[in-house]
A and B are shown apart, each in its own frame.
Chain A
Amino acid sequence: MLKLKIADKKKLIFEGETDFCELPAQSGIEGVMPKHVNFISYLAAGSIKYKIDGTIKEIEVLKGGLAEVSNDNVNILLDS
């Protein structure tokens, strides 16, 4: 399981566990599953997708942001 945290400057958007998420990184879309290698990346505009109980949810990224993945923690900060 991945621990996913998403926040922008106004509020915490999502915090919880997920099996899979997809990030619109600047060099292309990154899929993250458990045991993914640690990485840091800036995000481009696009949408973050994550899966809970088999359903995929989507969050729009308007301006970009920052994503950090380490030891099955995914932290995402959105600039908007």
Chain B
Amino acid sequence: MPNLKSIKRKISSIKNTRQITKAMKMVAGSKFKKNQAAMNEYKAYASIYDGIIGNIKNNSVLRLHPFYGKNDGKDSKTGKNIGIVIISTDRGLCGSFNINLFKIFNEEIKSKGLDENKIKIYVLGKKAYDFFKKNNYDIAFGMLYSDGDSILNIAGLLCDAFIKDFENERIDEVYIISNLYISTLQQRAYSEKLLPFEVPDDNISSDRSGGYIIEETAGYENEIIDKIFNNYLRTKIYSKILESFAGEQASRMNAMDNATRNAGKLINKLTASYNKARQTAVTLEILDIINGVNAVK
């Protein structure tokens, strides 16, 4: 029976696949735990830094810093040059994790009416790099995690790249698109403005929290502000990368879990049809024998 044989072969191949996806799920699970711990460890630091910058932002004196909309409205006719930072993954098989980033990217372009030729891309991770290269975007910075650098260094290099471009007025605004880790089952891609810093309403800031004394040690003042802001962006990018890492593994875990379950369902279906086919064969054979016996009588 060729039919029986082919079904059997199919079953065994799906069983193999199931084994592989199961193993991948386990691997993702253990990596996820590690990445999640790293993400949570860093969260306190990042959130306090967020708070500090939130306070500092109210300070009107600091608005002289280049990070506050220096390049704003310079030539509104020709449109703004936009830098977009994208944090993706090196590896696939993690569900719609990366696809969601590209979806948000396209939505952003449409909703903000951006000119695609004026976008510079700063990308981390192979998946997004390949995507933007294929679609002929201007990639100003591209790096893979597998290049062997530590994540902290990668975050530093990425920040240096877009901060330099921003200060040289090659780009007027910087957005970041990355995956937000909500829970193990839910990760959401979203976009956020990095630069220039939003200036809060003037009426709050002018009197109450305008004053800061910045510790001076010989012409140090600008440097200290510079350092705080630069480090802030670095901290932000770093925490986003950590978040993306945790999300990637969680997403992969879910994808592989689904794959394993689907493989199981398929096996059940095929086993049923295998049994049916075998039963038919047996019945036919018995009929043959009975017919033979009847003929002899």
Contacts and interface: CB of A to CB of B under 8 A. Distances in A.
Contact of A37 (B56, B213, B227): B213
Given A70-B55, A75-B52, A40 B212 contact: yes
Nearest to B62: A40
Interface in A1-53: 5, 7-12, 25-27, 37-42
A77 B46 CA distance: 9
B97 to A, nearest CB: 26
Contacts of A70: 55, 209, 212
A68 interface: yes
A40 B56 CA distance: 9
Interface residues of A, number: 23
B45 A77 contact: yes
B224 A40 contact: yes
Contacts of B42: 9-10
A40 B211 contact: no
Contact of A77 (B49, B212, B224, B227): B49
Contact of A9 (B45, B55, B215, B217): B45
- Interface size range of chain B in the complex: 20 to 34
Contacts of B41: 9-11
Contacts of B49: 77
Contacts of B56: 40, 68
B55 A73 contact: yes
Contact of B217 (A27, A40, A66): A27
Contacts, number: 63
A11 B55 CA distance: 22
B224 A42 contact: yes
Interface string B45-64: 10011011001100000000
Given A71-B209, A75-B51, A40 B44 contact: no
A31 to B, nearest CB: 14
Contacts of A75: 48, 51-52, 55
Contact of B214 (A10, A39, A71): A39
Nearest to B58: A70
29 contacts: A5-B48, A5-B51, A7-B44, A7-B45, A9-B41, A10-B41, A11-B41, A26-B217, A27-B217, A38-B211, A38-B212, A39-B212, A39-B214, A39-B215, A40-B213, A40-B224, A40-B228, A41-B214, A41-B215, A42-B215, A42-B224, A42-B227, A66-B52, A68-B56, A70-B209, A70-B212, A75-B51, A75-B52, A75-B55
Interface of A: 5, 7-12, 25-27, 37-42, 66, 68, 70-71, 73, 75, 77
Top 8 A-B pairs ranked by shortest CB distance?
A: A12-B44, A41-B215, A39-B213, A7-B44, A68-B52, A70-B55, A38-B212, A7-B45
